[in-house]
Structure formats: structure tokens, C-alpha cells
């Protein structure tokens, strides 16, 4: 049986893995605001490009990742910070709708990507799914962990899923050049955990819980092909 309904996915998660999920809060409909601002703007208000494999992805993210893909061997990419003064100038230009990435430096663009993800009004992984993802990552059997995380990724809103799938596919390509850039999937997961899977409160900031967040991201970076793909489950 191919899963096509979130209730069926929730049922399988509960029965097979003992994972219950809070209902995703329905967000109030926002006024669609047209404009060029990039940072701190809801996904639905951003210019997005249709990428066949992923769906609608913010154009800034596509442009920035494409720029960095050609510079993927840069040592410490995403770990080393860019220049604050240059980043401030780039942000201002991007928020005015100006094209400026082609002449930017890799560390500056990498920092902009992290800021973009971190400053979204709502995290790309809704907070309602965090506990379930950490429980899935804690399952003792590797196959169960992978299957549960794959199912959970199918519960994300479409716009979030497209953005995250694109990001994980890109980060997988960066990690494949770790012999040059020294950024393994683990290193990238550590760097992106505060941006993609931020702890919602101080209780979730214990070392063990933070490590689980990193491991969730590492799993998706190493297996981007599983993200958002509904598996076939036989009853």
C-alpha cells in the first residue's frame, strides 16, 4: 500500500515505532506581500523557482547553492564565518532585489544561507515534529530509524519539504568533497542544526538532545533521496 494520507502515516508511525505526533498547527493565512525582501520573510511570500526533482524552492536558495556548488572545495565551507561588513552589504542588495552573488566570496554566501534559514518566521522543521524526529532517531534498529524519519519527512508542509529536500541534496554534494573542504556530513549537520532544527526551549538544549538533532540532519544529508518520499508499506 502506498502512503498518500497523513493520517495513514501517523497510524503506521504509532503502531510500528511507538511514535505519536502532535497535530501541526494550522497557520493563519497571511496576506501575500509582493516585494523583493529575502530575509525574515515567510516562504510563501518569497520568489520561488520550480525545480522538477524538488518542487518550488526559494530563488535565493537556488542561486546561492548553485554559486557555492562551483566552489564546493572551499575549506571550512559553512563553518568559517564570512565578513560581517560584506554580508551586511549583500543582504541590503538582496533585499532590494539586486543580483550580487556572482561577485561575492564563498564564506559570505554560505553565511547568508545560514542566516536565511535561521531567520525564517517559522522553522523549516515545524516544532510539532521535533519530539517525534528525536524519538525516531533514538530507535535502536537502523532500518527502523531510517523508515521512521522517512515517514516523518512526508508530514511536512509542501513548501517546507521542497526547501529542505533541496538543501539536503545540496549539502550531500558538499559532503562528497570533504577531502577538499573538510566538511563531512557530521560537520555540516552540526553547523546547520541551529538553523534547520533549532531547540524550542532550554529543556531541549541538553547535550544528548542536541546530539540527536545533529544525527537527524546527518541522516538526511547522507540520504537525501529518502526525504519526502513516501515508502511502500505492506500491511
How far apart CA 207 and CA 210 sit, in angstroms, is 5
Q: Which residues pair with 48 in a beta bridge?
A: 58
Q: Which three cell numbers stand for residue 71?
A: 566552489
Q: Which residue has the cell 493563519?
A: 28
pLDDT at 205 over 90: no
Mean pLDDT in residue range 149-167: 96
Residue ranges per structural domain of the chain: 3-19+36-234
User: What pLDDT shows up at residue 1?
Assistant: 39
pLDDT in tens, 110-146: 999 999 999 999 999 999 999 999 999 999 999 999 9
Owner of C-alpha cell 547522507: 222
Which is it for the CA torsion 188, 191, 195, 201, positive or negative?
Answer: positive
Using a pLDDT cut of 70, give the percent of the chain over it: 89
The grid cell for 58 is: 526559494
Q: What is the pLDDT of residues 74-103, one digit of tens each?
A: 999 999 999 999 999 999 999 999 999 999
- Fold topology of 3-19+36-234: Phosphatidylinositol 3-kinase; Chain A (1.10.555)
Amino acid at each position: 500500500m502506498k502512503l498518500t494520507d497523513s493520517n495513514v502515516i501517523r497510524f503506521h508511525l504509532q503502531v510500528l515505532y511507538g511514535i505519536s505526533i502532535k497535530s501541526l498547527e494550522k497557520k493563519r493565512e497571511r496576506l501575500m506581500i509582493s516585494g523583493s525582501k529575502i530575509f525574515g520573510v515567510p516562504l510563501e511570500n518569497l520568489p520561488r523557482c520550480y525545480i522538477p526533482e524538488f518542487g518550488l524552492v526559494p530563488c535565493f536558495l537556488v542561486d546561492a547553492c548553485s554559486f557555492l556548488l562551483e566552489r564546493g572545495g572551499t575549506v571550512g565551507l559553512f563553518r568559517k564565518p564570512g565578513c560581517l561588513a560584506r554580508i551586511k552589504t549583500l543582504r541590503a542588495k538582496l533585499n532590494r532585489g539586486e543580483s550580487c552573488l556572482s561577485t561575492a566570496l564563498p564564506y559570505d554566501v554560505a553565511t547568508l544561507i545560514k542566516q536565511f534559514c535561521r531567520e525564517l518566521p517559522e522553522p523549516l522543521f515545524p516544532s510539532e515534529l521535533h519530539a517525534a524526529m528525536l524519538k525516531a532517531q533514538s530507535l535502536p534498529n537502523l532500518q527502523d530509524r531510517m523508515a521512521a524519519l522517512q515517514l516523518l519527512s512526508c508530514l511536512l508542509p509542501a513548501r517546507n519539504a521542497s526547501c529542505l529536500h533541496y538543501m539536503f541534496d545540496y549539502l550531500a554534494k558538499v559532503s562528497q568533497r570533504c577531502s577538499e573542504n573538510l566538511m563531512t556530513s557530521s560537520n555540516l549537520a552540526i553547523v546547520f542544526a541551529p538553523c534547520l532544527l533549532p531547540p524550542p526551549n532550554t529543556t531541549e538544549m541538553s547535550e544528548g538532545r542536541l546530539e540527536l538533532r545533529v544525527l537527524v540532519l546527518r541522516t538526511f544529508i547522507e540520504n537525501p533521496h529518502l526525504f519526502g518520499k513516501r515508502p511502500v508499506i505492506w500491511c
